[in-house]
């Protein structure tokens, strides 16, 4: 269904449309709310492509090799063996097809297997029900709530803090739940 590959500078074009689509960025990074011009997007994207401290991958459709978003793990602490999962599917035509769930599981495999992490966390906006369901299906557990931490649609809403541990991930694999 999808292939995760490193992003290159040539992959920036779809982000011009996605980051100027209010629905696509509604629950994404707050930074995305201010990246509207081509120059701002180019500068941000260049920092993502050249980022060696975090694990970033483009999400490409297998059948067409079309870029539909990106995902990875940022804020990696080698000492604590932890990081923060993120995903952004900018191409709304690909929403609701299970791609987010699949990518989440692929990135968790890499995080626990290749990167040697013990804990992967994330934050998610409470109204983003589809994302919460995908994260729960991948094994993430609710750790806490950041009250009124996000402002969208002229109102505040909570962000949820979720995480999964390496042994929980491996238990899911051993039980065939993955």
CATH of the domain at 77: 3.40.630.30
Mean pLDDT (whole number) for 169-174: 84
Q: Which residues pair with 87 in a beta bridge?
A: 71
How many Cβ atoms from other residues are within 10 Å of residue 33's Cβ?
A: 14
d(CA 162, CA 152): 20
Residue 100: per-residue pLDDT: 94
Q: How many domains does the chain have?
A: 1
d(CA 102, CA 2): 8
Residue 176 pLDDT greater than 80, yes or no: no
Q: Report yes or no: 164 and 140 within 8 Å, Cβ to Cβ.
A: yes
Residue 175: per-residue pLDDT: 77
Residue predicted with more confidence, 148 or 36 = 148
Predicted structure pTM score = 0.92
Residue 57: per-residue pLDDT: 96
Residue 108: per-residue pLDDT: 97
Nearest to 107 by CA among 135, 85, 77: 85
* Residue range(s) defining the domain that contains residue 72: 2-174
């Amino acid at each position: 269904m999808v292939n995760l590959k490193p992003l290159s500078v040539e992959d920036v074009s779809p982000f011009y449309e996605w980051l100027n689509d209010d629905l696509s960025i509604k629950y994404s990074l707050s930074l995305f709310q201010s990246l509207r011009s081509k120059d701002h997007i180019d500068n941000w994207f260049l920092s993502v492509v050249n980022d060696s401290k975090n694990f970033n991958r483009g999400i490409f459709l297998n059948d067409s090799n079309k870029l539909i978003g990106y995902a990875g793990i940022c804020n990696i602490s080698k000492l604590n063996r932890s990081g923060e999962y993120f995903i952004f599917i900018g191409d709304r035509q690909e929403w609701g097809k299970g791609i987010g769930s699949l990518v989440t599981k692929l990135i968790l495999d890499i995080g626990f297997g290749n990167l040697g992490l013990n804990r992967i966390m994330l934050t998610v906006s409470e109204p983003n029900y589809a994302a919460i369901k995908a994260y729960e299906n991948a094994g993430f557990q609710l750790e806490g709530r950041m009250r009124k931490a996000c402002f969208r649609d002229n109102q505040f809403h909570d962000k949820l803090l979720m995480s999964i541990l390496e042994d929980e991930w491996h238990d899911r694999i051993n039980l065939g739940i993955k």
